[in-house]
Every structure is written in structure tokens, then in C-alpha cells.
Structure 1
Amino acid sequence: MGTRTRKRTPTDGRQYSVEAEWTEADLALLEQLKAAEALLPNDAPRALLSVRLSVLTDDTTSPVRQELDLRLLARERGCRVVGVASDLNVSATKVPPWKRKELGSWLNNRAPEFDVLLFWKLDRFVRRLSDLSTMIDWCLKYGKNLISKNDSIDLTTTAGKIMVTIIGGIAEIEAANTSTRVASLWDYTKTQSEWLVGKPAYGYETTEDENGKVVLAVDQDARRALHWCRDAAMRSTPVSARGMVKVLVRSGLCGPGLTASTLLRRLRNPALMGYRVEEDKNGGVRRSKIVLANDAKPIRVAEPIFTAEEFESLQDVLNRRGKDQPARQLGGATQFLGVLICDDCDTHMTVQKTTTKGRPYAYLRCSKCKAGGHGAPNPDGIYSKLVDDVLKVLGDEPVMTREYRQGAEARKEQKRLEQAVSYYMSGLEPEGRFTKTRFTKEQAEKTLDGLIRQLNDLDPDSTQDRWVAVHNGKSFRTRWQEGGMEAMSADLFRVGVRCRIKRAKVRGVRAPHVHMKLMIPKDVRDRLILKEDDFAEKF
């Protein structure tokens, strides 16, 4: 492609998510292809280009080349390019097409805008057979076609469908082999005292020894921070984790994003003794455990920051001060999370539970006001008031479901009627075939009038692929009565309904006065329309 000197964004105005440069020759070819598209008829098939890349290297096909190749393919097939879905630095193995930022937006919300999906190669599109099967089902449902630049894929033929399945199976095998190689490398790495791959634990950094081999070295700033935290925790009046975070951030030893939970996790990591560790997935608590070698001894990979005695004494202190967290409630402790907003700091209201003298208390608090603001002590009462207010405003709204309607049949009917009208109009011209007798002329005129009425009665919208809202026979009151507060909370959050909570201190009363203000978007009826998930587990 020559030396790249100019940068350019794709046709839809959004930049590629990794750096991609266009040469003068690339831009000249792009203009030629656009000029050719301008000559296509209005009813030319509409093509969406899918460009994907995991990592941009010299050995991969650049997004620029992929787009140009696909535009050439679109010209060969007489398609008009309506958009470019560019998803770069995205793994096809981990992220299916409908979950990618660009392509997923087209598939889930903009299906009426294209007829065919073009991609450079099947492994640039999917790498799992199950994902390919899902996309085939989706295309058949919505009347779309899949076409690959470098594979014999065409869903309009039986052979094309079979070829897609075979190639998809090969791509999945290749991806599985890659996954196996990576897993094998990690398993081997765990048994070695050398540092081969991976991100070191907090407190360590990678460097090279005199032989050029990668080794772990102690980060001196992190060492100072960890030892200060241990000393602060071992005092007769220990410093809390929150207090430690404030000191570390203020001193510059740690960044402003440090939290108390992250700091405690760092202090509990046995890697601080210089041992190799792995994640302990048992117990539901995020912890690390020491990896043992074949001789049942820990594998040392670096100089220790804490001795075994220092580390164990620190763990004893942290365990004595630690609090057992209450069992996680189904659906979370806070109902209407994301809907209830603090009017003072604009953050979410959450339920915090405490126990005083054996009696449990629950308060609605926010995150930015000092000490959570004036905690509202009756979350259930606020929930109940919110439910009543929402039902008064939105309870009688009909539940509408978005459905996809194809315009292919209506377009065929429109074309048939237009051809028939032209046929009878030409026949009624002087010396035409229907003007030879009065009877044939009257019959032709009557037929022509009928055809024109049918053509006028044909809804222009019905000739387009489109979304339509269909009433499913229920109101939202019924829907929420059947689904409970969880269903109402999900719907309110989805459409952008918010309730601002204002708390004011009342003289002589411990509990604050709570004022609730319901905020409903102007286009709430359009937002309430339910959208079917075409990529749910049923596929």
C-alpha cells in the first residue's frame, strides 16, 4: 500500500478504534467507488460493511484494506454501501457480532437500513459455530444475506448455507486450538520460578537482569506504601482502610482511584511474600492462593516484601477487624437502583444496613454527600410512594412490542400495479389496443380505475423494511403486577424515568423530611416500547 501519510475516518463519520491511515491512492480509489455508487438505481441492494480486527500488526489485513476490498465487492454485486461497522481491537472468539459496539448497534436497532452484510473473511466475522448459526437464523428471520469477500458464502442458496457451516466449524476449531495453546502456556508458567508472562502483583514490576531475562523486582514506592499500611494496622489504635487510602493518595504513593476494598485485597495477597499465586475461585470471595510445586513447596518468583511472620501477623489483624458481610439478597439490597437519585449530589441512592444492639436498621444513602447525607430511614415507604406515583402516570399505558416488518412483498405488489397501470394507459391511447371498440375501451377504463385505486390505497410505508409497534393486549399496570417491583424497576431504568430524593433536616426530629420528585422523559411512550432480544439464549 506504500507509505501511509494521511489519516481519514470511515464513511459514517466515526473514527476507527485503532490508528488506521489512508494513503492518497486509497482516498482516490474511495472516491471512484463512491462515484460508481451514485450511478446505481434507487432500488439497488443496500450493503453494510463489517470490518473487524483483534490486533493491528504488519501481518494483519488493515481496516483500510478491508473496507476498500468490501467496497469493490459491493460494486461487483451492484450494492450501495450504507454504512461501515468498524470493530477493532475486538476478539471474534470472545465477542459475538451482536455484542460488538458498531456491528451490534446495526443488528439490534438498524436492521431496516440494510439488505446484505459484507465481511472480508469468515474468521473476521465469527469464530464460533454457535455464533454463526445464530447469525444465519437472524438473517433468515429478517431477510438479510451474508456475503464474504474471500469465502464462498451466500445464504440465498442451499450450497452457500452448507459452505458457511463447514467454514465456521473450521474457524471454531482454529480458535479452540489457540485457546488450548494459551491455557497450556499459563499452566506451564505456574510451575516455573522464572517470570514468563502475565501482570505482576501490586508491589512488583518486571525488569531485565544482566542476561536480558525478564525478572520481577520490588517496586520501592509500593513497598513503602505496604509497610506503612502494615504499621498503621498494627497500632494500638489502628487506622481504618479508608484512612489508609486517604493518606496514600494524599502522599502520592497511590493514584486517586484507589479504594478501601482494593487496598485490603492487596494487603491480603500472599504474593507479597515473593511466591507465585493464582486466583482462588472457591468461597465467593476474591482472594489469591499460593501455587505449590511438585515437591509441595511454594514457588518463589521474587524477593519478599513481607516475611512470612510479618504477613501472617497482618492477616490476623485484618481478620479480627473484618466484618462478615450479610448474605447477598436476590435482586440486590436496593430496589429501584439507578432510578432513585440524590437531589443534592446527583448520585444513586443505595440501601445501607446496620445493626445496633441487635436490631437491624436500613437507610437510603447516596455516595457523594458527606456520610451519605441525611439517611432516609424507611426505604420500603419510599418504594411504596414511588410505585403509587408511577402507576398513576404510566399504569394505564398500553404495552407495545416492537416487531419487524419486511417490505419485499409490498414492493412486488407496487411494481405489479405500476406495470399494469402503464399497460392499460398505453392501450387507451389513440389507436391503442383498447380503443378499437367502445366495449373494450369502457372495460379497460374500469380496470384502470380499479388499479389506480389499489395503487393509491397501498401504504408507502409498507414497501419499506421497518419497525412497527404492536399492542400485546396488556397495560403496564398489569405487567408490573405480574412482574413485581423488579419488572417496574427494570422498565423505569430502561426508559430513563428517575425519581429525585430531597432530604431536609427537621428540628427536633432524627429522621429527615423526604421529598420525592418524579422525572419522566417527554418521549416516554416511545421509550416504553419493548424490543425483542433476537440474540437471547433461545438461539
Structure 2
Amino acid sequence: MKVADLYIRVSTDEQADKGYSQRSQEELLRKYCDINNITVRRVMFEDHSAKTFACPEWKAYLLELKKHKRKADVVLFLKWDRFSRNTGDAYQMINTLRKLGVEPQAIEQPLDLSIPENKMMLAFYLAAPEVENDRRALNVIHGMRRARKEGRYMGLAPIGYVNKTDEAGRKYIAIHEPQAGILRWSFEEVAKSVYNTEQIFKMAKAKGFRGTKSLFWFAIRNPVYCGKIFIPKYKDDESRFVKGLHQPLIQEDLFYQVQDV
């Protein structure tokens, strides 16, 4: 009878994904072992990303295998991306395990790695999740740039504004008092050049400004307050400002007066 170690790996951001929870993986692996008459020796739970094998549980497992070779015949996991998402690291680890007398195998993507052509399939299984992640990240970047080009502010609202969502589910920022009023007063005072910025910050704090000095300095340089949205450079698309859809806190000429000061 074959002896197996079960390897269950799930990173924090995957906990809620269907089929990736630790409990779900363990149930499927144990069921597979029952059907195939395989004895389960131990179960390993890893809550780190599959980008690297430098994880506590896996390092302890390798150390145990080196001290006590051939305690298990196979190490089983659900899919190859649970084993690794780095093709080079995966091949090296497969060779390491084989030298220790253990054969790695994904129960939902079984491969006989003694057949050379199957290594091409293994490369696909390992690379596909990374390609999917890269495509998702690219879609997010393009989506955020498109929103900015439309004049929508993306991210946490700056002080003096608050994040809201309209009836269509689109996010936007709205003026939020009393911080908006304090900032408006601050812009006007800086433009007068009667007091220096340090003094104005202290007066703003006395009025109820809820931020640090660095946040105050950042705010009086932020074009969002005069209704502008900055679009950073991306590939051949040059950086620029567009008119925002949100309500400006101050007039544009006042903002540039403050920048001159």
C-alpha cells in the first residue's frame, strides 16, 4: 500500500476562493486516497504564496525527509499551482523530492513525469495561474487609467472629501465638512502670504484639521482640490491632467497662487 503526505497550500488572499480553502483541499485529497487505497501519513498546511518554497512548513518537511528517507511514497496536492507557480523552482524541487524517494503528484492534474512530453504539460500547469494573475493586474491598470481619463478619482478620498458610490455603482468623491472648510481657509491664507505655511498649519490644527504636517503640505500641493485628476505616464501614453468629475474645493487660479507661494 502506498503512503502519502498531503500538501495543502493557500495564501491569505485565496482563503475565500471556491475550491482553495484548506478544508476543501483536505477533503478532496483524503477522498482521493480512500478511493486509491493510499495511506495518509501526515497533512501539511501552508498559508504562504506558491511563488517560493521558502516557507516554514515545507522547509521542515524537506528536513524530515532528508533525515528519514522513504517514509512516504508520494506527496499529493490538489493542482500544480498549489505546489508552485515558478517553473524553474518546481523542476528543481521535483528532482530534490525524487532523490529523497518521494514522487510529487497533483490529483486533479495527474502527470507521469517519466514521459518527457508531459514536462511540457507541467510547464503549462505552472505558468497558467501566473499568466492569469498578470492579465488580471493588467486589466486593473487599464480600468483605473480609463476611469481617470473619464475624470473619476480612484482610491481613498483625500482629506476634505469622502468616498461614495452612486446608484449605478460608480465610485466618486464628495466634499466632506468640516475638513473641506478648513482646507479651503488654509489655501486662502497661504495665498495671502501673511503667515508662513508652518503657522497656517498650526492655525488649521487649532480649527480642527485632522492630519499631520506632511499631510497638510501634501494637501496644499494636490491638484485634486481644484478639480484636476492626474494621469501618470504609461508606455506611449504621456502623463497629463484632466478635468475631474468631482466638485472642486477651490478655484484653479487660487490653487496656482498657492503653488507660487
The reply to whether TM is greater than 0.5 is yes
Match of 2:198 among 220, 234, 240: 240
Match of 1:193 among 138, 151, 160: 151
**Contact 1:46-1:81 within 8 A present in 2 as well:** yes
Shift of 1:105: 2.5
Shift of 1:175: 3.3
Partner of 1:113: 64
**Contact 2:80-2:109 within 8 A present in 1 as well:** yes
Q: State the one-letter code of the partner of 1:69.
A: L
**Contact 2:5-2:76 within 8 A present in 1 as well:** no
Partner of 2:178: 221
* 2: CA distance, partners of 1:71 / 1:156: 25
**Contact 2:160-2:179 within 8 A present in 1 as well:** yes
Q: State the one-letter code of the partner of 1:136.
A: Y
The count of residues paired between Structure 1 and Structure 2 equals 245
Shift of 1:119: 3.1
SS at match of 2:178: helix
Q: Which structure has the bigger radius of gyration?
A: 1
1:276 and 2:229 correspond = yes
Match of 2:217 among 253, 264, 276: 264
Residues 177, 170 of structure 1: CA spacing in aligned structure 2 closer, same or farther, 3 A cutoff?
same
* 2: CA distance, partners of 1:201 / 1:278: 16
* 1: CA distance, partners of 2:141 / 2:52: 24
Alignment of 1:76-155 (within 5 A): 76=36, 77-87=38-48, 96-98=51-53, 104-107=55-58, 111-113=62-64, 118-124=76-82, 126-127=84-85, 131-141=86-96, 143=100, 145-153=103-111
* 1: CA distance, partners of 2:148 / 2:209: 30
**Contact 1:225-1:253 within 8 A present in 2 as well:** yes
Shift of 1:224: 2.9
Q: Map Cα deviations across residues 191-218 of structure 1 (whole Å, 9 max, x no partner).
A: 21356x6444443223345777543311
* 1: CA distance, partners of 2:60 / 2:53: 10
**Contact 1:45-1:80 within 8 A present in 2 as well:** yes
Shift of 1:159: 5.4
Residues 252, 156 of structure 1: CA spacing in aligned structure 2 closer, same or farther, 3 A cutoff?
farther
* 2: CA distance, partners of 1:160 / 1:245: 69
Partner of 1:302: 246
Residues 239, 109 of structure 1: CA spacing in aligned structure 2 closer, same or farther, 3 A cutoff?
farther
**Contact 1:273-1:311 within 8 A present in 2 as well:** yes
Match of 1:312 among 235, 248, 256: 256
Residues 306, 247 of structure 1: CA spacing in aligned structure 2 closer, same or farther, 3 A cutoff?
closer
Shift of 1:316: 2.2
Q: State the one-letter code of the partner of 2:93.
A: W
Q: Map Cα deviations across residues 277-304 of structure 1 (whole Å, 9 max, x no partner).
A: 23479xxxxxxx9744xxxxx3222111
SS at match of 1:48: strand
SS at match of 1:220: coil
Partner of 1:230: 187
* 2: CA distance, partners of 1:238 / 1:306: 20
Q: State the one-letter code of the partner of 2:259.
A: Q
**Contact 2:229-2:243 within 8 A present in 1 as well:** yes
Q: Map Cα deviations across residues 165-213 of structure 1 (whole Å, 9 max, x no partner).
A: 1222433443343334333322322321356x64444432233457775
SS at match of 1:311: helix
* 2: CA distance, partners of 1:273 / 1:78: 68
* 2: CA distance, partners of 1:48 / 1:192: 47
SS at match of 2:164: strand
* 2: CA distance, partners of 1:55 / 1:48: 16
**Contact 2:186-2:204 within 8 A present in 1 as well:** no
Residues 180, 126 of structure 1: CA spacing in aligned structure 2 closer, same or farther, 3 A cutoff?
farther
Partner of 2:135: 177
Structure 2 unaligned runs (5+)?
A: 66-71
Shift of 1:245: 7.3
**Contact 2:10-2:82 within 8 A present in 1 as well:** yes
Structure 1 unaligned runs (5+)?
A: 1-39, 282-288, 293-297, 318-539
Shift of 1:157: 6.1
Residues 49, 230 of structure 1: CA spacing in aligned structure 2 closer, same or farther, 3 A cutoff?
same
Shift of 1:312: 1.3
Q: State the one-letter code of the partner of 1:268.
A: R
Q: State the one-letter code of the partner of 1:151.
A: Q
Q: Map Cα deviations across residues 217-274 of structure 1 (whole Å, 9 max, x no partner).
A: 1122331342354356455342428x837964x77642xxx54334322321211112
Higher relative contact order (CA 8 A, sep 6+): 2
Q: Map Cα deviations across residues 349-405 of structure 1 (whole Å, 9 max, x no partner).
A: xxxxxxxxxxxxxxxxxxxxxxxxxxxxxxxxxxxxxxxxxxxxxxxxxxxxxxxxx
Shift of 1:112: 0.9
Q: Name the % identity.
A: 19
Q: Map Cα deviations across residues 64-121 of structure 1 (whole Å, 9 max, x no partner).
A: 212322344466543422431124xx6x6xxx2347xxxx233456631367654322
**Contact 1:52-1:125 within 8 A present in 2 as well:** no
